[in-house]
């Protein structure tokens, strides 16, 4: 069984290895920055962070049998405010017409833009390569458990939430869009600029040209990257779209990947999340059908969650004994509960001998 729990400092070596596989601002491949994020997360889970700008929740995916950490993801309470804007490229269209030629062109444009409205953000998701394509769908567990958590604690987050999707990268983990566009104005490699932006983004606003840039000036292979995601990111994008996230023409300045967003209150999994009371331990002959749910418990060991089969007995939630043990839950405990739509609950009541 696999369990989601808060990241801890003991996870730092593993998380650093995972971070070095990607180029996420929300998962910096820097030991000190990563340790600081874990520290903020621990305080946030403990309820010690009152400033939403400092609120950050970093989850670890753990193999319950081996205690091996195999993935991580995050939710940030607020990613922009006055003096600390969210920076993106806004795509648009410009029509040009010649009366003499009786014709013209429609151009796609990009322009640097900022947002200080303070949305929350999901990000920093990575699953160890050896566990991708796992029959227990660990990628979706990592991605979607965040909405279960938000559904339990909506007061900790903003009303709108962003998701940054990584654009396609070259085999050496670079991007043609940065080489043909960003590097013309900022003399840093993609990796250097991406890492530096985790500390400060001032250089983007200071060095990037103001006003619209015609995308047609870029080579076709660079133009094609704007608003696209890499093949390995497509499943995550589809999962978010299924939760109501939409693309509004905003892209990352570094790799051109799309920003998706939605209102938290409109996310199906957030709306479906509630609390239930755990019933008696299941007998061996309980039929859990095919229904699955996200179930979580906050006990002495902190937040623990998993995806599990379940049954309903009156107003009580019946869980497999392996689940009860994995998330440290006992009879009469209150747990977070999000039924998942992809399977149906065939047996509405637990069968007991």
**Nearest-5° Cα angle at 9, 69 to 3:** 30
Closest CA to 143 of 243, 226, 285, 69: 243
Q: Report the alpha-carbon distance of residue 290 to residue 307 in Å, rounded.
A: 12
Q: Bridge partners of 90?
A: 111, 250
Residue with tokens 């869980």: 319
User: What are the φ and ψ backbone dihedral angles of 33, each rounded to 5 degrees?
Assistant: -65, -40
User: What pLDDT is attached to residue 351?
Assistant: 41
CB 266 within 8 A of CB 333: no
Rounded-to-10 torsion of CA 199, 200, 201, 203 = -120
Cα distance between the two ends of the chain: 27
Q: For domain 274-339, is the CATH number 2.40.40.20?
A: yes
DSSP secondary structure, 94-106, as one string: EEEEETTTTEEEE
Closest CA to 136 of 17, 266, 292: 292
Burial class (CB in 10 A: 0-12, 13-18, 19+), 215: middle
Burial 37-63 (b: 16+ CB within 10 A, else e): bbebbbebbeeebeebeebbbbbbbbb
User: What pLDDT is attached to residue 342?
Assistant: 62
Return the CATH number of the domain spanning residue range 1-78+118-157: 3.40.630.30
Closest CA to 62 of 118, 7, 132: 7
Domain-wise residue ranges, the chain = 1-78+118-157, 80-116+159-165+175-272, 274-339
Contacts of 332 (CB under 8 A, 6+ apart): 277, 278
Q: Report the alpha-carbon distance of residue 336 to residue 304 in Å, rounded.
A: 10
Q: Quote the tokens at residue 171.
A: 């085999």
**Quick count: other Cβ atoms within 10 Å of Cβ 182?**
22
User: What pLDDT is attached to residue 343?
Assistant: 52
User: What pLDDT is attached to residue 222?
Assistant: 95
Per-residue pLDDT of the chain (353 residues; tens, 9 = 90+): 999 999 999 999 999 999 988 878 788 888 999 999 999 999 999 999 999 999 999 999 999 999 999 999 999 999 999 999 999 999 999 999 999 999 999 999 999 999 999 999 999 999 999 888 888 899 999 999 999 999 999 999 999 999 999 999 888 888 999 999 999 999 999 988 987 887 888 999 999 999 999 999 999 999 999 999 988 889 999 999 999 999 999 999 999 999 999 999 999 999 999 999 999 998 776 778 788 999 999 987 789 999 999 999 999 999 999 999 999 999 999 999 999 986 555 444 444 43
Helix (H) or strand (E) holding 299: strand 292-299
**Quick count: other Cβ atoms within 10 Å of Cβ 9?**
12
Contacts of 11 (CB under 8 A, 6+ apart): 38, 60, 69, 72
User: What pLDDT is attached to residue 350?
Assistant: 41
Q: Bridge partners of 3?
A: 62
CB 294 within 8 A of CB 2: no
User: What pLDDT is attached to residue 132?
Assistant: 87
Structure confidence by residue, pLDDT tens digits, 193-236: 987 887 888 999 999 999 999 999 999 999 999 999 988 889 99
User: What pLDDT is attached to residue 346?
Assistant: 46
pTM assigned to the model: 0.91
User: What pLDDT is attached to residue 348?
Assistant: 41
Q: Bridge partners of 127?
A: 71
Q: Report the alpha-carbon distance of residue 182 to residue 189 in Å, rounded.
A: 9
Phi-psi region of 83 (alpha: psi -120 to 50; beta: other; left: phi over 0): left
Pairing of strands 120-127, 160-164: parallel
Displacement of CA 217 from its chain's centroid (Å):
33
């Amino acid at each position: 069984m696999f369990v989601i729990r808060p990241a801890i400092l003991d996870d730092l070596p593993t998380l650093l290895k995972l971070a070095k596989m990607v180029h996420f601002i929300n998962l910096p491949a820097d030991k000190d920055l990563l340790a600081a994020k874990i520290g903020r997360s621990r305080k946030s889970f403990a309820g010690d962070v009152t400033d939403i700008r400092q609120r950050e929740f970093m989850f670890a995916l753990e193999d319950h049998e081996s205690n091996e950490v195999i993935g991580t993801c995050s939710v940030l309470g607020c990613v922009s405010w006055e003096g600390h804007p969210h920076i993106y490229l806004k795509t648009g269209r410009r029509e040009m017409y010649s009366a003499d030629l009786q014709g013209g062109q429609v151009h796609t444009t990009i322009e640097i833009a900022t947002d200080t409205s303070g949305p929350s953000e999901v990000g920093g998701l990575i699953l160890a390569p050896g566990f991708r394509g796992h029959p227990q769908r660990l990628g979706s567990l990592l991605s979607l458990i965040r909405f279960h958590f938000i559904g339990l604690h909506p007061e900790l987050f903003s009303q709108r939430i962003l998701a940054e999707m990584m654009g396609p990268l070259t085999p050496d983990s670079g991007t043609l869009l940065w080489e043909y566009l960003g590097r013309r104005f900022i003399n840093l490699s993609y990796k250097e600029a991406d890492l530096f932006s985790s500390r400060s983004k001032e250089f983007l606003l200071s060095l990037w040209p103001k006003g619209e840039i015609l995308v047609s000036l870029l080579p076709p292979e660079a133009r094609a990257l704007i608003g696209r995601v890499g093949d390995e990111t497509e499943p995550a994008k589809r999962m978010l779209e299924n939760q109501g996230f939409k693309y509004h023409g905003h892209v990352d300045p570094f790799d051109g990947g799309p920003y998706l967003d939605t209102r938290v209150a409109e996310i199906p999994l957030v709306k479906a999340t509630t609390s239930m009371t755990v019933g008696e331990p299941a007998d061996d002959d309980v039929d859990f059908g095919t229904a699955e749910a996200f179930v979580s418990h906050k006990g002495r060991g902190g937040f623990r969650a998993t995806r599990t089969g379940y049954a309903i007995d009156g107003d009580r939630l019946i869980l497999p004994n392996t689940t009860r043990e994995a998330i440290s839950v006992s009879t009469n405990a209150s747990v977070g509960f999000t039924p998942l739509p992809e399977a149906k609950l065939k047996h509405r009541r637990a069968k007991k001998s």
